[in-house]
Chain A
Amino acid sequence: MFGRVKDAVADAAETLRRAFAGLKVVEVAPEPFPLRSQASACLEARPRAGLQPPVAGGREMPLLEHGLQARALDPFRTTLQQEAGWASWDAGARVVRMTRLEAGRATRIGVPALPHRPQLLGGPEPVAAPASRRLSDPITRPGVRRMDPGLGPVAAEPGLAVMLSRAVPIQGEDIRRLPKGLWMRYSLQLVRGTGENVRNLEVLGLFHIPRKGVADLRHDPRQGRLLLQLEAPAVRAPRAPFILARRKDDGALVSCYLEDA
């Protein structure tokens, strides 16, 4: 086996030797890098003239020779005027002499009386004297509709019927503030009234609502209150504690009136 390996290695060496036997080495002379120099122009200073000195130029004004013309002023002339008014005024003046005031020489002058009713001219006579009207009319008292709670539902007036048609919210009592004994009695009544196991009940609230006249009720869990739809008998009906609970297994609501202590 080692003989075969040796022969194979020898064959490979011979093959390599033959493959690289024909290669020639060529020497390449390095080409020198030509140096090229570039000359730059030298800076030169050129003299330049500075600022030109200010030159004061003189201008000659033309003489006023042709624009002026001399004019001679006209001489004053006198005219003789005559005023004859003074003479006429003097000739037409009259002298008036006032008589002296003396007692008993006064004359009585009658003053005409003013008319009692001035005469109205140019307009029609009024038909009649204007009548005064009273402007401060008092506001009349409105009529009042009333509803007597004692009346039955048939005779109910609109007033209370309108109010009873709206849902009445009833706040739940704080169960924690109840005496423990009272709460135990209420729990027992709840179990008896609903027939449920107390462990299966979750109390939602305790409310005081009318024993009669409750047409519908809904629970508002967000605010913990009952919304009642009432009828007229609810107004006079006594209030009774009412407990509302939820069954834990199916979520159904159960409720019952409680006997107050």
Chain B
Amino acid sequence: MAESIKLAYFMAVKEGASYLGGLLVTDTSGIPLDFRYTEPITPTRLQGILYGKSLEPHLKEEVIQKTLLKELKVAPDLFILSATELAGGWAGDAKCPVLAVQKSQESPLAKVGDAFRAGPRELLLQVAEGAAPMRVLFAASVDAAAQEQAVIKLLEAGYHMDLAEPLERVSAALQSLVVKDS
């Protein structure tokens, strides 16, 4: 059943000197089932000095992401984050496959469901008829078998929704929260 698949979209942003993150769980239509966000965290100057360059990844992965994941009551089937976060070396502990989805500029593949593997952790996936294929990047912790299972779920969800769009909603919601708090 398509309704059983739940997609979790995670994003952490930095606004000024504060960090905050949001986690949106949607069904395969993109309709929000749950949304949680953290309060803005403002590290002190001393913490910024002591943590150095590891401050931002530590806050996003260890503090924000783990806190949000722990609060989820329903385990998502796919954990989707931005390609920038994934390329930065994601080190979270989600129980489901972790991946990034972004729109590509490549020409469409032959038919819906076709996949072109561009690397051991990257592939182009034809989700919609006639549209450009989606670029899917998997975290290093996702093995080949888990990637295949994730592709099946992505195709099922992509039939009803734009797979990359909910991340834009999370970003916009976090921005609105920052404006409201300031």
Q: Which residues of A contact B (CB under 8 A)?
A: 135-137, 139, 141-147, 149, 159-160, 162-164, 166, 168-171, 173-174, 208-210, 225, 228, 230, 234-235, 239
Interface secondary structure of B, over-half rule: mixed
20 A-B residue pairs with CB within 8 Å: A135-B46, A137-B47, A139-B47, A142-B39, A142-B64, A142-B67, A144-B67, A146-B71, A147-B34, A149-B34, A159-B34, A162-B35, A162-B173, A162-B176, A166-B172, A208-B29, A225-B162, A235-B32, A235-B33, A239-B27
Please judge, given known A-B contacts A145-B37, A163-B35, whether A168 and B172 are in contact too, CB under 8 Å: no
Number of residues in B with C-beta < 8 Å to the partner?
41
Closest to B174 in A: A162
Judge if B159 is at the interface, Cβ distance under 8 Å. Answer: yes
Measured in the bound complex, the distance between the Cα atoms of B39 and A16 in whole Å is 127
B 40-54 binary contact with A (CB < 8 Å = 1; else 0):
110110110010000
Cβ A235 vs Cβ B31 within 8 A: yes
B94 at interface, CB cutoff 8 A = no
Q: Are B34 and A230 touching (Cβ within 8 A)?
A: no
Chain B positions near chain A (C-beta within 8 angstroms)? 3, 20, 24, 27, 29-41, 43-44, 46-47, 50, 58-59, 63-64, 67-68, 71, 128-129, 159-162, 165, 169, 172-173, 176-177
Given contacts A143-B39, A144-B71, A160-B35, contact A209 B173 (CB under 8 A): no
**Cα of A189 to Cα of B46 in the assembled complex, Å:** 67
Are B129 and A174 neighbours in the complex by a CB distance under 8 Å? yes
- Considering the chains assembled together, what is the distance between the CA atoms of A145 and B34 in angstroms? 11
